[in-house]
Structure 1
């Protein structure tokens, strides 16, 4: 049975087990590293990028990190293109304002392209009003303001043309314009239109960027790296400052080649301290900042892929290990895991391990504790697949519990004195907390539960309990094992990690 090592360590525990458990954990780490840096490397990199998106960093610092990737030559084409695409989608006005200052450049954009002409200049109002849109508004406004020089360039589909006076009283007549022939006339005979305030105003909202993304990507790349236009870089910097770090990393890191990702990690590590003030079991980035601060000392990204896999991606790593198509590394990993479990089952306290951890470097401590935590995670997924197996786990590890299906009247301690307990102690939980957590569980989507059940291969079980290990009780159900597993194995490791690192 899995030992969770929740009891207070004994004073006379011997440290000789270090000579056995630490080499085994290191061996396990080597197996996992081979899995996540071999055939599953792309997936492991995605896991790491997801973890990086949870980091908290100031807007000024995130600007500095990304600008140091963007500014140097040779330019990182995929990164810049993806960033510009983000700006097209999320902040088109920033780049639309840049285009408006150089509206004359778009004359070539429309030359010989009837499709673009129709898309941009044909949205005249249908209701008889003057609420024209996009290029149609610019065309109408310019034509009226400059009717003495360009009105004859308007081509009509009817038998005869319309005078400015008639169109002014009946704006819907503009719907009879032959847009293609009109714009071709303007391209040939009205050059002032393309640098006019009317046409520039139609570009400011950035909607024109959607007409041909590739064209505008190429144009802005030229603005940035060939012409080095300050207002374009100012717009980029403003976007990088305003957009959340989470959004930037999720969209941009996937475009980086591995050397570029390593550069990003090194730059990011400069803004983190190697010390950890608190361990937050719900925060995946609390250990990551400390590791990044020493990333420059690592030989490669492989160590970070390993650490992230065992600490943040325990369930996905389980799936990878159980994949039938995985190579012999998976079988050797399971054999090593069995050896570790045999050693742990014969030990009385997890405090035996940190004796040698105190001699290790910071990253080494996190690595060993992460491997130990994932070992427990693995065993829980293997052995606890029924309600009875969970209750046996609780009893063997001294966790007091009551089945929450017991509807006895609650006392001020949380349970009636008449209700039977499955262990000797009393759990203390308020009705309010119980109801709040129960309602929260009901809000979880059924599809998410089904996905997790399939991932871990667990049976659908509905029993739930109220647990207590230190006088505080919490509702827990094995259906919601996604949270339950993580709370159990992460809390063990991060509780002892403070002792291991600061003792």
Structure 2
């Protein structure tokens, strides 16, 4: 919604200063309501929304990304949560890298199996049966070592039968190893054959990292110890390489959710120092650009509470609306309903004056007030667009030309809009993507979180009003563009770069707005 704001009126127009002051006063009353809702439940959910937006930042080079997360790993308490979670990621995506380190740690392997029959059987109990060509995992290592070193360890092999097997017999019939008492044999090796635990045979069996699957948590603890207690060069090199190769979005989504408020703020401040703005970011091409601009210029002077608030009203308006309408927020709901009843209408000139007054302030304040204004518009749309008639009334009042589609698939017989769940939204997104592929229209889009519905709009030129739409209810003419619209679009996200003329709230021209923001920054 913020992207729609800021364009001067064509005729200049006269400004009703009282109306502008009244709207600013209204926004000041909305702010504490939002803060109260955001802090419900300790503010955890709202911080997760901020982490989601942070994960879409795209202006870090691999070295900056590595240094950023290494700094996070060095913060107090990070070894208990961030480091552990990062190692889980490494073990899942790069098991061979971790396995090559485990292969060098004979004492770690010995301790892993000591006094643990279940682990012993899971790793060493895979001897080949008749018809199979080879043993697997630890069984292969055990058999190979036993043959090569039969003069010192063959007597430690325990057999289930009445008598043992000789090396010569087992060499011709490897499946005889199926008669081996694996548990007792490995326990004998733990006590009497120390050379096995540092052998090449055992190292070769674990270097592919498959052993990590037996008890990942054990190896996570061991690697945390290697990193923080032994300062192991191999362990830190593994982490360095992973942080260089892994996508920033993946690291952020998996790691930032564990941070307390202070560590998250420290992380964001460090992130701001690494962001190098490019032309795309200055033009707000991607949804996260407002955050990149803000952090690059003001990360040292803005609190986490302010960042959370800005993110709620700018990037997570729909989620904030849902949270406010939760049954636990009855007081805030009532306050918000009363404020919506008292909203004053602004002309284009009034709205231009309101926006200009905001951007003349410091960038954080400008973003806050513009964001709250945009969210207030979202709330008004959610309140007004309850049925087909109410939507058409909104279009008519705001001089938006429209033509009805053949049917209203998202409106029930009683005139109420249908609330789509996440599966329905995914279905709509999927069908829209297929239509885009069929038309062979390619557009580079930046990744956004799972709630984004930006792809629902189909924009074309003004002479393409006959565009087919499988889910639209109306065809709208919005300042030189034609688009298919439905109730869900109006009540979930009015956030497209195309200019959207709404008389009560002003015009929208993303480029003019961004020019002003860039100047303010």
Short-chain TM bin: 0.7 to 0.9
Matched, 1:143 2:146: yes
CA displacement at 1:50 relative to structure 2 = 1.0
Aligned equivalent of 2:32: 30
Aligned equivalent of 1:413: none
2:21 to 16, 19, 22: 19
Alignment of 1:409-488 (within 5 A): 436=435, 464-479=473-488, 484-487=493-496
Structure 2: tracts of 5 or more residues without a match: 408-431, 440-449, 454-469, 501-507
Matched, 1:498 2:514: yes
Matched, 1:59 2:62: yes
Aligned equivalent of 1:412: none
Q: Is the 8 A contact 1:9 1:350 kept in 2?
A: no
Measured on the aligned residues, the alpha-carbon RMSD in Å equals: 3.2
CA displacement at 1:9 relative to structure 2 = 4.6
Q: Is the 8 A contact 1:100 1:201 kept in 2?
A: yes
1:95 to 95, 98, 105: 98
Q: Secondary structure of 1:325's match?
A: helix
Matched, 1:266 2:273: no
Q: Secondary structure of 1:270's match?
A: helix
Q: Tell me, in whole angstroms, the C-alpha distance in 2 between the residues paired with 1:32 and 1:274.
A: 30
CA displacement at 1:289 relative to structure 2 = 0.6
Matched, 1:131 2:134: yes
Alignment of 1:308-319 (within 5 A): 308-319=311-322
Q: Tell me, in whole angstroms, the C-alpha distance in 2 between the residues paired with 1:435 and 1:255.
A: 37
CA displacement at 1:348 relative to structure 2 = 5.3
1:334 to 333, 337, 344: 337
- Greater length-normalized contact order (CA 8 Å, ≥ 6 residues apart): 2
Aligned equivalent of 2:182: 179
Aligned equivalent of 1:252: 255
Structure 1: tracts of 5 or more residues without a match: 407-432, 441-447, 452-460
Q: Secondary structure of 2:329's match?
A: coil
CA displacement at 1:490 relative to structure 2 = 10
Q: Secondary structure of 1:239's match?
A: helix
Q: Is the 8 A contact 2:20 2:351 kept in 1?
A: no
Instruction: Give deviations 1:276-326, integer Å, cap 9, x for gaps.
Output: 52123xx32111111222443445211111111111111111112222321
Distance 1:496 1:26, change over 3 A: farther
CA displacement at 1:164 relative to structure 2 = 2.0
Q: Out of 269-278 and 253-262, give the one that drifted further.
A: 269-278
Instruction: Give deviations 1:8-36, integer Å, cap 9, x for gaps.
Output: 45313326244332232233122212221
Aligned equivalent of 1:384: 385
Q: Tell me, in whole angstroms, the C-alpha distance in 2 between the residues paired with 1:297 and 1:20.
A: 33
TM-score norm. by structure 1 comes to 0.82
Q: Tell me, in whole angstroms, the C-alpha distance in 1 between the residues paired with 2:9 and 2:200.
A: 77
Alignment of 1:274-293 (within 5 A): 276-280=281-285, 283-293=286-296
Q: Is the 8 A contact 1:467 1:474 kept in 2?
A: yes
Q: Secondary structure of 2:189's match?
A: helix
Distance 1:193 1:5, change over 3 A: closer
Q: Is the 8 A contact 2:497 2:510 kept in 1?
A: no
CA displacement at 1:89 relative to structure 2 = 1.9
Distance 1:277 1:171, change over 3 A: same
Distance 1:212 1:307, change over 3 A: same
Q: Secondary structure of 2:474's match?
A: strand
How many residues matched? 455
Q: Tell me, in whole angstroms, the C-alpha distance in 1 between the residues paired with 2:205 and 2:320.
A: 52
CA displacement at 1:7 relative to structure 2 = 8.9
Q: Out of 487-496 and 250-259, give the one that drifted further.
A: 487-496
Distance 1:472 1:43, change over 3 A: same
CA displacement at 1:349 relative to structure 2 = 4.7
Q: Secondary structure of 1:351's match?
A: helix
Aligned equivalent of 1:231: 234
Instruction: Give deviations 1:336-374, integer Å, cap 9, x for gaps.
Output: 3433x2243x66552121231232011211112111111
Q: Out of 83-92 and 476-485, give the one that drifted further.
A: 476-485
Aligned equivalent of 1:374: 375
Distance 1:211 1:248, change over 3 A: same
Q: Tell me, in whole angstroms, the C-alpha distance in 2 between the residues paired with 1:73 and 1:7.
A: 50
Q: Tell me, in whole angstroms, the C-alpha distance in 2 between the residues paired with 1:176 and 1:240.
A: 46
1:243 to 230, 241, 246: 246
Aligned equivalent of 2:156: 153
Q: Tell me, in whole angstroms, the C-alpha distance in 2 between the residues paired with 1:350 and 1:243.
A: 44
Q: Tell me, in whole angstroms, the C-alpha distance in 2 between the residues paired with 1:177 and 1:263.
A: 57
Q: Tell me, in whole angstroms, the C-alpha distance in 2 between the residues paired with 1:375 and 1:490.
A: 19
Q: Tell me, in whole angstroms, the C-alpha distance in 2 between the residues paired with 1:358 and 1:479.
A: 31
TM-score norm. by structure 2 comes to 0.79
